[in-house]
Homo-oligomer: A and B are copies of this chain.
């Protein structure tokens, strides 16, 4: 569909929405790119301004575009639509691109003996001493994620003396600069009840449902260098996955 079908029962604003969505998905309008102005859409499709506005409102609600005051409508980037689990970017990097204020409070950091799940994920013998980093992240002032990262000792040592331990620098970026670049990761998601501790940190009642993400990241050599458990408040942070067809499907 590339023009408005005047005989269709489908409201014009939805038809226009589909045309624009098709162009976004087809790559004609790229993520981050500014859309044509409302007046241009009015002229091109011979539609009233209120119809075009209704389309924009609906695309914005679906997070396909975002409106910037005095500048117009922009195609949403993946980052705009929350933390995308199928890419290797971290939570902080995503949300900062998203223009949300991220505050990080470091609860503890240092050498500790690794719990079983972390040791298994990192392919280390249970009880090996590793590096632990526990943090609470807030978005625009609201507690959003409680996370505990576990790393092999040599990986953790790259964090000594950095601003990561003060909550002022991205863990992902710092590890990357130290040569630990994520080549792949596996992330399991689950709905769980918040522990008393997590609940307190996230401003919830103990046992309240939260999203648990258990993530293992490895480098190109296949070595796992980070495992984390993150507990997220689904009402504060959107966590999503984009799926794409592959040939054998």
Q: Write out, one digit per residue, whether chain A residues 164-200 have a CB within 8 A of any chain B CB (1) or not (0).
A: 0000000000000000011111111111110000000
Q: A184: which of B124, B189, B208, B245 is its contact (CB, 8 Å)?
A: B245
- Known contacts A190-B211, A211-B189, A234-B190: A88-B241 contact under CB 8 Å: no
Q: Give the number of times this chain occurs in the complex, counting copies.
A: 2
Of all chain B residues, which has the CB nearest A188? B240
A212 adjacent to chain B (CB < 8 Å): yes
Interface centre among A191, A211, A223, A238 (most CB of B within 10 A): A191
Report the interface size for chain A: residues with CB under 8 A from the other chain.
Answer: 61
Q: A238: which of B82, B89, B188 is its contact (CB, 8 Å)?
A: B188
Complex-state Cα separation, A243 to B150, whole angstroms: 19
**A residues whose Cβ falls under 8 Å from a Cβ of B:** 1, 10-11, 14, 17-18, 21-22, 24-26, 58, 61-62, 81-82, 85-89, 120-121, 123-125, 181-193, 208-212, 217-218, 221-223, 232, 234, 238-246, 249
Q: List 23 A-B contacts (CB under 8 A).
A: A11-B125, A14-B124, A14-B125, A18-B222, A22-B222, A22-B223, A24-B222, A58-B120, A86-B241, A182-B243, A182-B245, A182-B249, A185-B243, A188-B241, A189-B189, A189-B234, A189-B239, A190-B211, A190-B234, A191-B192, A191-B212, A193-B209, A212-B234
